[in-house]
Amino acid sequence: MSWDFGMRCRQTRQDLEAARALLRKNGYAHAASIIEEAEVRDQYREYEANYTYNVSEMFYDAFGGDGIRGLNGLLGHECQPLLDAAIAKMQAEPEKYRAMNPDNGWGNYEGALELLLTLRSWCVNSPMAEMYIT
The 8-class DSSP code of residue 79 comes to: H
Rounded distance between C-alpha atoms, residue 80 and residue 31, angstroms:
11
- Other beta carbons less than 10 A from residue 134's beta carbon: 10
**DSSP of 19-35:** HHHHHHHTT-HHHHHHT
- pLDDT (tens digit, 0 to 9) for every residue of the chain, 134 residues total? 788 888 777 666 666 677 777 777 877 666 655 555 445 454 556 788 889 999 999 999 999 999 999 999 999 999 999 999 999 999 999 999 999 999 999 999 999 999 999 999 989 888 888 899 98
Say what the pTM is: 0.77
Domain ranges of the chain: 2-133
